[in-house]
Amino acid sequence: MNIHEYQAREIFRSHGLPVPDSVLAETAEQARDAAARFGGTVVIKAQVHAGGRGKAGGVKLASDPAEAGEAAEAILGMEIKGLVVEKVLVAPAVEIATEAYVGIVMDRASQRPVMMVSPEGGVDIEEVAATKPEAIFKEAIDPRYGLMPHEATGLAYRLFSDPALAKQAVRALAGLWNAYDGADATLAEINPLVSTPEGEVLAIDAKMNIDDSSLFRQPEIEAMRDEGAEAPSEQRAREAGLSYIKLEGDVGCCVNGAGLAMATMDLVKYYGGSPANFLDIGGSSSPEKVVAALEIITQDPSVRSILFNIFGGITRCDDVANGIVEATGRLDLDVPITIRLTGTNEKEGVRILEGAGFEADTDMDRAVQRAVEVAS
Amino acid sequence: MAIFIGGQTRLVVQGITGRDGSFHTRQMIEYGTRVVAGVTPGKGGLTFDGSVPVYNTVAEAVVERGANTSVIYVPARFAGDAILEAADAGVGLIVCITEGIPVAEMMRVMPFVQERGARLIGPNCPGLIVPGVCKVGILPGQIVLPGRIGIVSRSGTLTYEIIFQLTSAGIGQSTSIGIGGDPIIGTDFVDCLRAFEADGDTDAVVIIGEIGGTDEQTAARLVKEEMSKPVVGFIAGQTAPPGRRMGHAGAIISGSEGTAAEKVRAFQENGIAVAERPVEIVDALRASL
């Protein structure tokens, strides 16, 4: 799950990270008031679940409250990578002497969280990694012990040679680890961690991604979920226990299992079609899940053909068949449905479908070809 | 022979009295797997289906019944500890079916499992099956055929699909194994490829990958450096957009390395024939043998 910068800032603050004050504003007026309260120059930042906010024009400086109001006016309602900005963060602008990058990411290869720091902060860190890998320093953390003080010290001196700054950085790195670990994050990032001309180290940005599988034990973070930042169809799918991602095509796909769902989408493309979505109804699926899946798919106006690809294992073909019959009875569909059904309780499933006037194929390639044909 | 399981397997089912655990225990027994014990805390002393003794702990199942392999069906919030318990009891092979274990917890579980010298398969995997001999997990027994092809996959139902395509074409399997779709897993492609290379019952291997991570690239290098047996590959997720998680926690493209195109290239450069569609795996295997 993604959380917003202002939420990550709160988590960082609670772990003692040096994060300057900020205020969340949903209107230009609120932004103007916040700027008046802070005095001096402020920065206005779009709060959306997308990277590259600065490049997209979602981050602006304002030297007085009136300008802050105008900046907020311009950013609110703006679209960044397809997401509408509904909130902005207002924070006092900080004078910057140096900019560093610090982050922790879950690393699959070492099976550990890896802390990465670079004195070349404030820019796209993936670009630094590609063009100047020697400027990135890494430490794999043993999660059973956490970030050890000497590890934090070693990394901090990669960022600052001045001991007064390095000592502050050690505390910031320790705080970042505690925030990452405490929130069950898969990513926690400060870009940039700055030093000011007065010799202060400050975290002026905050980014966190949270492990979805941990949300059951992170109720405070689950409560941070911004449902407005999620497409309504994806929200509906999540509530129904489905995994759904909307894409640009016109063949709606309903599959059991993520790997088979991806392979089905690939096959749609192979036969000249274009998948309208990724949708995994998961294992042990009930008829209700199938009904929810069909509702979500048919709410996408670009869908011109619906393809079911079910390989019964834990999922039972008769459950899926009942769901299709129930949903089509209830939904008044005018989009053609192609069904591929095989595996557990296949015969019962086919019988149920044929009884309701559907045809069911057992061959995946044939079914996909047909679904592509009827879409065009 | 086969890999990891076989006639020597003495299985304990953790979570045997639960909905999934009881259903799949019956399926495994019916298939011929020697299920010697079950574990559900608080249900010790019961007998499952009149034949399998149930214990409160894995340690008792090991001492009383000589269990050497465990399969885990317990809910996600208890599954991490179930793995630790099995490793602590001296079980050598632990297969975890459960989906949704926190990543942070798995990072703490893995070093413990390794220190105890145990092998973990999964979590979030369908398990493994040796056709006609033994199955541990949830792979459907009716679609497999005894033979000499090894299958290793990160997926569940896509693995069934490919087994089904092979079986329909009359090509049997030595062992099929699903290693799981999570970012942190106990047994990876490399472990399985090495085991298949050493297995006298396997002539060729099918490797089924998907977007996310770089495990396929690592596997491809191993194939070139260490394997004499032919390997055929398939990668799911050509049409997946970057930055979106495709169901599996591991299936998310971040950076260029995790893309399907990058993995296909790594396969091809290292001598793995890549099938564009699942059905083409059959032809690629025939051509390689």
User: Which of the residues A5, A139, A151, A189 is marked catalytic?
Assistant: A189
What is A98-222's CATH number? 3.30.470.20
* Tokens matching residue A161: 């040679």
Work out the angle between the directed axes of helices A5-14 and A163-182 (0-180°, nearest 10). 110
| Nearest-angstrom CA–CA distance, A269 and B261 | 14
Domains annotated on chain B, with CATH: 11-121 (3.40.50.720), 140-288 (3.40.50.261)
Chain B residues in contact with A263 by the CB 8 A cut-off are: 158, 161, 234, 236, 278
Q: What is the DSSP letter of A274?
A: -
A336 close contact with B: CB closer than 8 A: no
> Is A139 considered catalytic here?
no
Q: Please tell me the number of Cα atoms within 13 Å of A307 on its side-chain side.
A: 34
| Short-list B216, B145, B155, CA closest to B181 | B155
pLDDT per residue as tens digits for the range B199-212: 999 999 999 999 98
Q: Which of A97-106, A224-233, A286-295 has the lowest mean pLDDT?
A: A224-233
Helix (H) or strand (E) holding A251: strand A251-255
Work out the angle between the directed axes of helices B280-288 and B157-168 (0-180°, nearest 10). 60
pLDDT per residue as tens digits for the range A95-120: 999 999 999 999 888 899 999 999 99
Q: What is the DSSP letter of B271?
A: T
CATH architecture of A21-92: 2-Layer Sandwich (3.30)
Q: Are strands A305-312 and A251-255 parallel, antiparallel or unpaired?
A: parallel
Please state, for a pLDDT cut of 90, what percent of chain A lies above it: 77
A267 close contact with B: CB closer than 8 A: yes
Q: Which of A128-137, A283-292, A358-367, B68-77 has the lowest mean pLDDT?
A: A283-292
Asked if A261 lies within 8 A of B247 by C-beta distance, the reply is: yes
Q: How far apart, in Å, are the Cα atoms of A143 and each of B104, B110, B112?
A: 8, 11, 12
On the question of pLDDT at B256 being above 70, the answer is: no
Q: Are A88 and A76 spatial neighbours (Cβ–Cβ below 8 Å)?
A: yes
Q: Are A89 and A23 spatial neighbours (Cβ–Cβ below 8 Å)?
A: yes
Beta bridge partners of B95: B71, B121
In chain A, which residue's Cα lies nearest the Cα of B240? A262
> B29: buried, middle or exposed (CB in 10 Å: 19+, 13-18, 0-12)?
middle
Chain A residues in contact with B161 by the CB 8 A cut-off are: 260, 263, 311, 364
pLDDT per residue as tens digits for the range B229-255: 999 999 999 998 876 767 666 666 566
Residue range A272-297: mean pLDDT, rounded: 89
Residue numbers of A between 343 and 362 with CB closer than 8 Å to B: 343-344
Beta bridge partners of A361: A340
User: What CA dihedral angle connects A254, B182, B207 and A252, to 10 degrees?
Assistant: 10
Higher per-residue confidence, B74 vs A289: B74
CA distance A372 to chain B (A): 15
Q: Which residues make up the CATH 3.30.1490.20 domain(s) of chain A?
A: 21-92
On the question of pLDDT at A345 being above 90, the answer is: no
Chain A residues in contact with B143 by the CB 8 A cut-off are: 343
Chain A residues in contact with B138 by the CB 8 A cut-off are: 313-314
On the question of pLDDT at A230 being above 80, the answer is: no
Residue range A128-143: mean pLDDT, rounded: 90
> Please, which residues have CB within 8 angstroms of residue B106's CB and are 6 or more apart in sequence?
A111, B80, B123, B182, B184
Please state, for a pLDDT cut of 70, what percent of chain B lies above it: 95
Asked if A106 lies within 8 A of B181 by C-beta distance, the reply is: no
What is the pLDDT at residue A175? 98
Nearest to B183 among A106, A243, A262 (CB): A106
In chain B, which residue's Cα lies nearest the Cα of A263? B236
Q: How far apart, in Å, are the Cα atoms of B107 and each of A106, A176, B78, B213?
A: 9, 18, 15, 16
Chain A residues in contact with B158 by the CB 8 A cut-off are: 257, 259-260, 262-263
CA distance A56 to chain B (A): 18
Q: What is the DSSP string of B27-68?
A: HHHHHT--EEEEE-TT-TT-EETTTEEEESSHHHHHHHH---
On the question of pLDDT at B131 being above 90, the answer is: yes
Q: Which residues make up the CATH 3.30.470.20 domain(s) of chain A?
A: 98-222
| Nearest-angstrom CA–CA distance, A77 and A31 | 14
What is the pLDDT at residue A235? 86
Please state, for a pLDDT cut of 90, what percent of chain B lies above it: 89
| Short-list B206, B200, B220, B199, CA closest to B262 | B220
> Please, which residues have CB within 8 angstroms of residue A35's CB and are 6 or more apart in sequence?
A42, A62, A64, A65, A67, A68, A69, A90
Helix (H) or strand (E) holding A219: helix A219-222
| Nearest-angstrom CA–CA distance, B107 and A207 | 22
A268 close contact with B: CB closer than 8 A: yes
CA distance A1 to chain B (A): 10
Q: Please tell me the number of Cα atoms within 13 Å of A157 on its side-chain side.
A: 6
CA angle B198, B202, B205 (to 5 degrees): 95
Asked if A213 lies within 8 A of B102 by C-beta distance, the reply is: yes
ipTM of the complex: 0.92
pLDDT per residue as tens digits for the range B63-72: 999 999 999 9
Nearest to A211 among B103, B260, B277 (CB): B103
> Is A189 considered catalytic here?
yes
CA angle A157, A163, A164 (to 5 degrees): 125
Q: Which of A71-75, A158-162, A239-243 has the lowest mean pLDDT?
A: A239-243
What is the pLDDT at residue A73? 96
Asked if B76 lies within 8 A of A216 by C-beta distance, the reply is: yes
Residue with tokens 């014990």: B37
* Tokens matching residue A9: 């800032």
Q: Which residues make up the CATH 3.40.50.261 domain(s) of chain A?
A: 232-375
| Nearest-angstrom CA–CA distance, B73 and B78 | 10
Q: What is the DSSP letter of A361?
A: B
Residue range B53-65: mean pLDDT, rounded: 98
Residue B88, SS3 per DSSP: helix
CA distance B110 to chain A (A): 8
On the question of pLDDT at B87 being above 90, the answer is: yes
Which residues of B are known to be catalytic?
248
- Write phi, then psi, for A151 (nearest 5 degrees): -65, -45
Q: How confident is the model at residue A361 (pLDDT cuts 50, 70, 90)?
A: very high
| Nearest-angstrom CA–CA distance, B95 and B127 | 6
Asked if B102 lies within 8 A of A214 by C-beta distance, the reply is: yes
Q: Are strands A98-107 and A112-118 parallel, antiparallel or unpaired?
A: antiparallel
| Nearest-angstrom CA–CA distance, A271 and A114 | 42
Q: How far apart, in Å, are the Cα atoms of A201 and each of A18, A111, A116, A162?
A: 7, 31, 17, 12
Asked if B237 lies within 8 A of A256 by C-beta distance, the reply is: no
Chain B residues in contact with A112 by the CB 8 A cut-off are: 107
Superfamily (CATH H level) for A232-375:
Succinyl-CoA synthetase domains (3.40.50.261)
Asked if B139 lies within 8 A of A270 by C-beta distance, the reply is: no
Higher per-residue confidence, A156 vs A319: A156
Q: Are B181 and B210 spatial neighbours (Cβ–Cβ below 8 Å)?
A: yes
Higher per-residue confidence, A53 vs A9: A9
* Tokens matching residue A64: 């007085």
What beta strand segments (E) does chain B contain?
Answer: 11-14, 35-39, 47-48, 52-55, 69-72, 93-96, 119-121, 127-130, 134-137, 146-153, 173-178, 204-210, 231-236, 273-274
Nearest to B239 among A112, A126, A269 (CB): A269
What is the pLDDT at residue B134? 96
* Tokens matching residue A247: 């894409």
| Nearest-angstrom CA–CA distance, A27 and A319 | 48
Nearest to B255 among A106, A126, A142 (CB): A126
What is the pLDDT at residue B204? 98
Highest average pLDDT, of A241-245, B43-47, B210-214, comes from B43-47
Q: How far apart, in Å, are the Cα atoms of B23 and each of B48, B119, B144?
A: 11, 25, 19
What is the pLDDT at residue A233? 86
Residue range B151-178: mean pLDDT, rounded: 96
Nearest to B241 among A142, A247, A343 (CB): A247
CA distance A36 to chain B (A): 38
| Nearest-angstrom CA–CA distance, A135 and A137 | 7
The length of chain B is 289
In chain A, which residue's Cα lies nearest the Cα of B208? A259
* Tokens matching residue B72: 């885990």
Q: Are A262 and A363 spatial neighbours (Cβ–Cβ below 8 Å)?
A: no
Residue with tokens 């499992």: B113
* Tokens matching residue B117: 């010298």
